[in-house]
């Protein structure tokens, strides 16, 4: 008996939107993920298990073959790279925008700007294409606080409704990318387990097409 295929799923909002999609494709965990302390879950789909991890870890698990497939936000792929991965399907879930934002009425004054973000690589590339040198300050949360406390001029962050920005006297500026969750597949696994992986991709594709 060959070992089960593994799909690495991203915790949080993406997980909540992925599980119904998988269910419509005929894949359901055999126990409730929300109420369990487990990290690995058997499913009703023969030879397939799920693992639930941090989004930033999903590409690493898939790249190194610990999981054959994964579901991860496009923001993570843009920030950390997609080497060794195929990206066969945009699942169209957990949609949001990756944007620059700043205090209402902010005006830049020169070719240098201080930017607070957890997306350091994306921010540097974005500003470099505009001929602006970004002094990137890596933060992991509460980005809106950085301009308020004069730590940074602008932020680069995920924007959903924009309510948090408005509540803190900020406004969205430039859209860097439209973000959604993607199915990724280990390139070597796609070759060695093609007959098992391709039907899964086709099932999910059909579900996405119906959505």
Dump pLDDT digits (tens) for 116-155: 999 999 999 999 999 999 999 999 989 999 999 999 999 9
Residues 50, 43 contacting (CB under 8 angstroms): yes
**CATH entry, 96-178, from 3.40.190.10, 3.30.830.10, 3.10.20.30, 3.40.50.970:** 3.40.190.10
pLDDT band at 161 (very low <50, low <70, confident <90, very high): confident
- Each domain of the chain, given as residue ranges in start order, spans 5-95+179-210, 96-178
SS (H, E, C) the chain: CCCCEEEEEECCHHHHHHHHHHHHCCCCECCCCCCCCCCEEEECCCCEEEEEECHHHHHHHHHCCCCCEEEEEHHHHHHHCCCCEEEEEECCCCCEEEEEEEECCCCCCCCEEEEEECCHHHHHHHHHCCCCEEEEEECCCCCCHHHHCCCCCEEEEEECCCHHHHHCCEEEEEEEEEECEEEEEEHHHHHHCHHHHHHHHHHHHHHHHHC
| Mean local confidence (pLDDT), 56-69 | 97
pLDDT band at 108 (very low <50, low <70, confident <90, very high): confident
Give the number of other CB atoms < 10 A from CB of residue 128.
11
Q: Does the pLDDT at position 1 exceed 60?
A: no
pLDDT band at 171 (very low <50, low <70, confident <90, very high): very high
CATH number for the domain formed by residue range(s) 5-95+179-210: 3.40.190.10
């Amino acid at each position: 008996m060959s070992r089960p295929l593994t799909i690495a799923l991203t915790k949080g909002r993406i997980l909540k939107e992925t599980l119904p999609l998988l269910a419509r494709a005929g894949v359901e965990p055999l126990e409730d993920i929300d109420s369990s302390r487990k990290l690995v879950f058997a499913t009703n789909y023969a030879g397939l298990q799920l693992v639930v991890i941090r989004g930033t870890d999903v590409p690493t698990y898939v790249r190194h073959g610990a999981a054959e497939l994964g579901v991860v936000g496009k923001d993570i792929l843009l920030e950390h790279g997609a080497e060794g991965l195929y990206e066969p399907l945009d699942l169209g879930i957990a949609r949001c925008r990756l944007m620059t934002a700043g205090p209402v009425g902010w005006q830049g004054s020169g070719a240098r700007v201080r930017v607070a973000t957890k997306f350091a690589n994306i921010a540097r590339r974005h500003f470099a294409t505009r001929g602006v040198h970004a002094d990137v300050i890596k933060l992991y949360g509460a980005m809106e606080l950085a301009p308020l406390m004069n730590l940074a001029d602008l932020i680069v962050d995920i924007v959903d409704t924009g309510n948090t920005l408005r509540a803190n006297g900020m406004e969205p500026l430039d859209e860097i990318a439209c973000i959604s969750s993607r199915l990724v597949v280990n390139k070597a696994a796609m070759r060695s387990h093609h007959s098992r992986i391709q039907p899964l991709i086709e099932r999910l594709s059909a579900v996405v097409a119906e959505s």
